[in-house]
């Protein structure tokens, strides 16, 4: 059996079903509604995998993380439940937030900032007390000003109960202990082994629909972010879950059995 690096990958042990939750993108209202449905359906030996992009785009980033932390607390407090029953993957938005907090080290901070703000990070910045317009000014002032500014953002993150530990605990991918199902954020580079994916989990979304054979023995790869927001799209070897939550669409979740069959879906 594959032994994962526990700092990067999560192993889903002895589970009957796995609930996978698509990208949320700062829409706490839909997340709360989905959790209400899920709380009435989840069973002992079920696992829950959140597939990244909790932050960015939508206006309720702070409330989304609060809700995720609270619902995880409820899940693992149930009888016979364990902390490993719930897994949170790192999404592109969380990766971009991390890059923003290190902006002073970028070789071209002005271009990096512009790209980050244009791709959803402005909402996360605002959630932690930042101002996108002021950020542009800070970059012009140089590394010292940027270091002071990102330090203030880190302090705001640390002041939000549980947010910093939550973001520090995110995994890159998750798979079942029989190595039948692999859960990723947006994509994967099938030419490289799992432990050599680098940033493909976040940026290799385009090739996901062209996977035509099993990858490293996995029967199915499930992702939670689709740039097209096309809903539940299944091929013989992949399932994509994303109906555009945060962009005006619904939040989607799907329940998989150990064979990789979708046995139930939820929308909010």
Q: Above 60 in pLDDT, residue 2? A: no
User: Which three-class secondary structure state does DSSP give residue 250?
Assistant: strand
Instruction: Encode pLDDT of 59-111 as tens digits.
Output: 999 999 999 999 999 999 999 999 999 999 999 999 999 999 999 999 999 99
Residue 109's nearest CA partner among 143, 132, 157, 158 is 143
Instruction: Encode pLDDT of 234-262 as tens digits.
Output: 999 999 999 999 999 999 999 999 899 99
Residue 99's nearest CA partner among 177, 218, 199, 16 is 199
| pLDDT score recorded for residue 167 | 97
Terminal alpha carbon distance of the chain = 37
pLDDT (average), residues 6-10 = 83
| pLDDT score recorded for residue 198 | 84
- All CATH 3.60.21.10 domain ranges of the chain, comma separated, are 9-91+170-267
Contact yes or no for 186/208 (Cβ under 8 A): yes
Residue 21's nearest CA partner among 243, 249, 260, 178 is 243
Instruction: Encode pLDDT of 40-59 as tens digits.
Output: 999 989 999 999 999 999 99
| pLDDT score recorded for residue 96 | 97
pLDDT (average), residues 215-225 = 95
User: Which three-class secondary structure state does DSSP give residue 254?
Assistant: strand
Residue 253's nearest CA partner among 37, 20, 32 is 20
What is the chain's alpha carbon radius of gyration, rounded to the nearest angstrom? 18
Q: Above 70 in pLDDT, residue 194? A: yes
Confidence of residue 7 (pLDDT cuts 50, 70, 90): confident
Contact yes or no for 236/218 (Cβ under 8 A): no
| pLDDT score recorded for residue 4 | 60
Range of weakest confidence among 18-32, 90-104, 208-222: 208-222
- The percentage of the chain sitting over the pLDDT mark of 90, rounded to a whole number, equals 89
CA 24 to mean position of chain CA atoms:
8
Instruction: Select from 3.40.50.300, 3.40.50.150, 3.30.70.20, 3.60.21.10 the CATH code of 9-91+170-267.
Output: 3.60.21.10
Q: Above 80 in pLDDT, residue 28? A: yes
Instruction: Encode pLDDT of 123-155 as tens digits.
Output: 999 999 999 999 999 999 999 999 999 999 999
Contact yes or no for 39/68 (Cβ under 8 A): no
């Amino acid at each position: 059996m594959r032994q994962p690096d526990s700092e990067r990958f999560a192993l889903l042990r002895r589970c009957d079903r796995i609930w996978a939750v698509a990208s949320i993108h700062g829409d706490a209202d839909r997340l709360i509604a989905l959790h209400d449905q899920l709380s009435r359906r989840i069973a002992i030996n079920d696992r829950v995998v959140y597939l990244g992009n909790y932050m960015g785009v939508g206006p309720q980033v702070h409330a989304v993380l609060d809700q995720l932390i609270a619902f995880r607390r409820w899940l693992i407090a149930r009888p016979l439940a364990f902390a490993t029953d719930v897994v949170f993957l790192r999404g592109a938005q969380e990766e971009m937030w991390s890059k923003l907090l290190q902006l002073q080290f970028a070789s071209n901070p002005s271009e990096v900032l512009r790209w980050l703000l244009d791709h959803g990070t402005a909402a996360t910045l605002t959630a932690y007390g930042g101002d996108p317009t002021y950020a542009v000014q800070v970059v012009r002032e140089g590394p010292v000003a940027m270091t002071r500014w990102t330090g203030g953002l880190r302090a705001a993150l640390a002041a939000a109960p549980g947010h910093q530990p939550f973001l520090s605990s995110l995994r890159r991918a998750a798979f079942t202990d029989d190595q039948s199902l692999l859960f990723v954020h947006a994509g994967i580079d099938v030419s490289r082994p799992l432990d050599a994916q680098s940033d493909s989990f976040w940026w290799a979304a385009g090739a996901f629909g062209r996977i035509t054979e099993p990858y490293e023995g996995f029967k199915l790869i499930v992702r939670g972010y689709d740039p097209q927001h096309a809903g539940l799209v299944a091929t013989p070897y992949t399932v994509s879950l994303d109906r555009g939550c945060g962009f005006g669409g619904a939040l989607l979740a799907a329940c998989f059995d150990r064979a990789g069959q979708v046995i139930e879906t939820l929308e909010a």
